[in-house]
Amino acid sequence: MLDKRKKWLTEACTECGTALSFEIKEKLHQEQTPFQKIEIYSTKSFGMLMVIDGFVMLTERDNFIYHEMLTHPALFCHPDPVSVVIAGGGDCGSLREVAKHSCVQDIFLVEIDERVTRLSEEYFPVLCEANDDPRIEFIFEDAIEWFQAKKSGSVDIIIVDSTDPVGPAEGLYSTAFYKDCFRALKPTGLLVQQSESPMVHLESIIQPMHDSMQVAGFSSIDLICFPQPCYPTGWWSATLASKSKQLSFAREKFAKQLEIQTRYYNHAVHLACFATPQFMSKE
């Protein structure tokens, strides 16, 4: 909701009983695609801001936390990530982070709405710095259908960089989709998916997601926690599921040296982000 008089954009979170507001300089773009409504704003203190169907997707100021934590923990947990698929992620922020890993040879971005990518290229060019990387293939299709046809045992890591579990993204949170991901992964494969806020979505989204992943066959499921100022509660998560065994820091040597450039993620953050808060402990 945009207060035109005061120039504030407000997103209300009914589950939280709270709202988050951004002071707006101007509205730069709005369009209705076949899939969703996309708006682009210039803000006073958070830079460029993208809104999809009324929900804040990313800001120029703090998106690096989300994109780094959705990608690097999984990439450093895998012993040899060669083939990576990003489902969703049309803003290309996660794509940029994956491309920093020289060991990755093939990167597929499967995004249903090409307009998200084209608008990101125009308004968030920093996120799209890796888009010309020859290892990357853009596939503007429904990721659910794409995975149904994907060859078994052909992918090392699947990153589901989706919007909230409504509209076009709803099917990306289903047991059927996780089964297709499980089949597409190699024996040492990993699946990581954004899983909303532990503060308010633990019972409604996170626990059902973990149950569905377990039903699909994943043997080890862990929650990654990190701050995200532009999202409800400011506390966000990703879920990392392993096809074969308990997660380990497979590339710890490289993470300690951290030859890639990051702003939030490092070796210490990797170790800390898997810690389970007391109220979520099963003991």
Q: What is the DSSP string of 93-132?
A: HHHHHHHT-TT--EEEEE-S-HHHHHHHHHH-GGGGTTTT
Res 32: pLDDT: 98
Q: What is the CATH number of the domain that holds 127?
A: 3.40.50.150
Residues 23 and 126 in one domain: no
Res 245: pLDDT: 76
Contact 46, 22 (CB under 8 A): yes
Residues 24 and 141 in one domain: no
Residues 147 and 275 in one domain: yes
Exposure string of 54-85, with b = 16+ CB inside 10 Å and e = fewer, is ebbbbbbbbbbbbbbbbbbbbbbbbeebebbb
Catalytic residue of the set 62, 142, 161, 222: 161
Q: Which of 41, 59, 77 is the last residue of a domain?
A: 59
Residues 51 and 87 in one domain: no
Task: Tell me the three state secondary structure of residue 273.
Answer: helix
Residues 83 and 33 in one domain: no
Q: What is the CATH number of the domain that holds 42?
A: 2.30.140.10
Structure tokens at 113: 């709405």
**Which stretches in the chain have pLDDT values below 70?**
1-6, 282-283
**Spatial distance between the Cα atoms of 60 and 40, rounded to a whole number of angstroms:** 11
Residues 93 and 48 in one domain: no
Q: Which of 59, 76, 99 is the last residue of a domain?
A: 59
Q: What is the DSSP string of 122-160?
A: HH-GGGGTTTT-TTEEEE-S-HHHHHHTSPTT-EEEEEE
Question: Using one digit for the tens of pLDDT, what is the confidence trace for 74-128?
Answer: 999 999 999 999 999 999 999 999 999 999 999 999 999 999 999 999 999 999 9
Between CA 183 and CA 85, with CA 253 as vertex, the angle to 5 degrees is 25
Contact 159, 195 (CB under 8 A): no
Residues 52 and 70 in one domain: no
**Spatial distance between the Cα atoms of 214 and 29, rounded to a whole number of angstroms:** 41
Residues 260 and 276 in one domain: yes
Please provide the size of the chain in residues. Answer: 283
Res 205: pLDDT: 93
For the question of residue 161 being annotated catalytic, the response is: yes
From 91, 159, 158, select the one nearest 129 (Cα to Cα): 91
Residues 227 and 153 in one domain: yes
Q: Determine the structural domain holding residue 40 and report its residue range.
A: 2-59
Res 75: pLDDT: 95
Structure tokens at 209: 């997601």
As a three-state string, the secondary structure of 228-257 is CCCCHHHEEEEEEEECCCCCCCCCHHHHHH
Res 99: pLDDT: 98
Q: Which of 42, 59, 76 is the last residue of a domain?
A: 59
Residues 206 and 170 in one domain: yes
**Spatial distance between the Cα atoms of 222 and 273, rounded to a whole number of angstroms:** 10
Number of domains in the chain: 2
Residues 110 and 203 in one domain: yes
Residues 133 and 272 in one domain: yes
Contact 45, 31 (CB under 8 A): no
Structure tokens at 111: 């995004």
Task: Tell me the three state secondary structure of residue 278.
Answer: helix
